[in-house]
Chain A
């Protein structure tokens, strides 16, 4: 499903060169739930960004769903992300001026989906995360856990094969975090969605199929 082959990422300024990822090779199978752990600054988020095609590797090859994306131009990458990937972020990244359902509809705006269909799909996604009764609310009226559930609904609304979650429980207390983790596990189990999750929480990581650890940009496990 996702294949990274000898991927490196180097950030270069005039005076300093920082290696964020060093020769990483990972293969994530279809339906797998993979977690990535490591200390802060070890390159976890960079790795996730490269998997999500919002950042480019300095070297190496990335293949997603059998398609090498190195030759994709910006517009094709945007379309590919929209069709194939769902994103969940630690700080939710909801648009405060849009209602819950409008936030969930956002990925569908960039598809040729009718307004009626968008609304229907968004309502279904919200139902899956147990927030159908909050459709008209605005993010400012929700708790952290509810916001993350909205973000999950937004990630799954387009029915992507892969979800990339960057510390999805990082901003939540343990109870809320457990709820979110349960939703992700359910998505993986029931819908067969491939999930790659960056986390600091060992307990959460242990619930996934596989765990890899990074240290100073290199894979250590």
Chain B
């Protein structure tokens, strides 16, 4: 029967071309959309690696201050003063590249002939506790690291797995901007937002009074009233004697950044939904037309011994085989993207998009072809044969 159906499809290739092309182009469009969506969804699924809820960042600017020692002393005093409030659970100074902040300090270095891009984050010894980072190996910085001969750094687990796994970390020195000693590994630090890639991140230690650390990160106790921000504002203003600082709630920034990605994703998925509806209607139309043109053939087949089930399965199979041919061509086209690395997207995203597109199209084909095929099987042979 399969051979018979394939032969019929081949002999009717001209009339099947429309359906074949419809399926092929639908696959390509779905593949494109699903590649983008799966890429973002997979990014979204991987954890940030730090806390954003109740985290505030005080953005300050000390560039106009020339007395470094006065700045250092003022920074320590500010941190101590704020920590005296029970509403503040932890505080840490960090560099300009802050979580959700949009600033990136990246460096490239040679690693066994490969250029490794690393994002550098500056933080003091309280950074881990304040942002609730998960340490999976080694240790976080302590104040004695300020006098270390080699730059003590903490890296993310992905960076460790891909570059340093199996290597002796404690006694080795690696060149990451400068001679560095990896002292610890944290689980993750997706600091550019939920929809960001997991970049290689290396934390560099700087003493809290270092002038480069101009961002004060605060972990606020849950349930703190919103009016507390005004108190923080007053403390910062009175100690720094400046009013050009801002207080950022990074949970709000995180939502805003996510929204910027969710909107196009929803738009893409809406296009997909519209396409799926159109393809369904197209399939329905093609099948109804085909069946109305083939009533005589259906009557003949029933007369010659085809059961209703055989008629249904023949029509469903015909559409499914043509669709599979369209999907196969789509696969050949889609496979070029991961093979030729057309875009800097992980290959798994392409494969998932291919599977998803093929699955949805096949499901659609089966759903849309079943009803008209079932209706075809109910055609009365005597009536159909008499119609010609």
Chain B residue contacts of A79, Cβ below 8 A: 305, 307
Contact B303 A54 (CB under 8 A): yes
Mask of B299-322 contacts with A, CB within 8 angstroms, 1/0: 111111111111000000000000
Mask of B275-318 contacts with A, CB within 8 angstroms, 1/0: 00000000000000000000011011111111111100000000
Contact A98 B1 (CB under 8 A): no
Q: Does B12 belong to the interface (CB within 8 Å)?
A: yes
Contact of A74 among B4, B11, B300, B307 (CB under 8 A): B307
Contacts A93-B296, A109-B1, A109-B4 given; indicate if A98 touches B305 (C-beta within 8 A). no
Q: What CA separation (Å) do A82 and B302 show in the bound complex?
A: 9
Contact B297 A95 (CB under 8 A): yes
Most interface-central of A52, A54, A74 (chain B CB within 10 A): A54
Contact B296 A54 (CB under 8 A): no
Q: Does B388 belong to the interface (CB within 8 Å)?
A: yes
Q: What CA separation (Å) do A109 and B3 show in the bound complex?
A: 10
Contact A97 B4 (CB under 8 A): no
Chain B residue contacts of A98, Cβ below 8 A: 7-8, 11
From B87-95, B195-203, B379-387, give the one contacting chain A: B379-387
Q: Determine the residue in chain B with the shortest Cβ distance to A87.
A: B303
**Nearest chain A CB to B290's CB is how many angstroms away?**
12
Q: Does A128 belong to the interface (CB within 8 Å)?
A: no
Chain A residue total in the interface (Cβ 8 A): 29
Contact B304 A54 (CB under 8 A): no
Contact A54 B12 (CB under 8 A): no
Contact of B11 among A45, A54, A97 (CB under 8 A): A97
Residues 96-112 of A at the B interface (beta carbon under 8 Å): 97-99, 102, 105-107, 109-111
**Nearest chain A CB to B93's CB is how many angstroms away?**
78
Chain A residue contacts of B386, Cβ below 8 A: 45
Contact of B303 among A52, A102, A111, A115 (CB under 8 A): A52
**Nearest chain A CB to B294's CB is how many angstroms away?**
9
Chain A residue contacts of B3, Cβ below 8 A: 115
**Nearest chain A CB to B313's CB is how many angstroms away?**
12
Q: Does A33 belong to the interface (CB within 8 Å)?
A: no
Q: Does A49 belong to the interface (CB within 8 Å)?
A: yes
Q: What CA separation (Å) do A159 and B302 show in the bound complex?
A: 18
**Nearest chain B CB to A7's CB is how many angstroms away?**
15
Contact of B385 among A75, A89, A97 (CB under 8 A): A89
Q: What CA separation (Å) do A82 and B301 show in the bound complex?
A: 10
Chain B residue contacts of A87, Cβ below 8 A: 303-304
**Nearest chain B CB to A64's CB is how many angstroms away?**
14
Residues 332-388 of B at the A interface (beta carbon under 8 Å): 380-382, 385-386, 388
Contact A91 B388 (CB under 8 A): yes
Q: Does A55 belong to the interface (CB within 8 Å)?
A: yes
Contact B300 A78 (CB under 8 A): no
Q: Determine the residue in chain B with the shortest Cβ distance to A155.
A: B304
Mask of A45-88 contacts with B, CB within 8 angstroms, 1/0: 10001001011000000000000000000110011011100010
Residues 132-190 of A at the B interface (beta carbon under 8 Å): 154
Contact A81 B303 (CB under 8 A): yes
Q: What CA separation (Å) do A93 and B298 show in the bound complex?
A: 11
Chain A residue contacts of B305, Cβ below 8 A: 78-79, 81-83, 107, 110-111
Residues 1-52 of B at the A interface (beta carbon under 8 Å): 1, 3-4, 7-8, 11-12
Contacts A74-B308, A81-B303, A110-B304 given; indicate if A54 touches B381 (C-beta within 8 A). yes
Q: What CA separation (Å) do A118 and B11 show in the bound complex?
A: 19
Q: Determine the residue in chain A with the shortest Cβ distance to B294.
A: A95
Q: What CA separation (Å) do A136 and B382 show in the bound complex?
A: 29
Which 7 A-B pairs rank lowest in CB-CB distance, beginning with the nearest? A82-B305, A110-B305, A55-B382, A97-B11, A54-B381, A75-B307, A49-B382
Q: List 7 A-B contacts (CB under 8 A).
A: A49-B382, A54-B302, A93-B385, A95-B300, A98-B11, A106-B301, A109-B1
A contact residues vs B (CB 8 Å cutoff): 45, 49, 52, 54-55, 74-75, 78-79, 81-83, 87, 89, 91, 93, 95, 97-99, 102, 105-107, 109-111, 115, 154
B contact residues vs A (CB 8 Å cutoff): 1, 3-4, 7-8, 11-12, 296-297, 299-310, 380-382, 385-386, 388
Q: A95-B297, A110-B307, A115-B3 are in contact. List 6 more A-B contacts (CB 8 A).
A: A54-B381, A79-B305, A82-B304, A97-B8, A98-B8, A107-B304
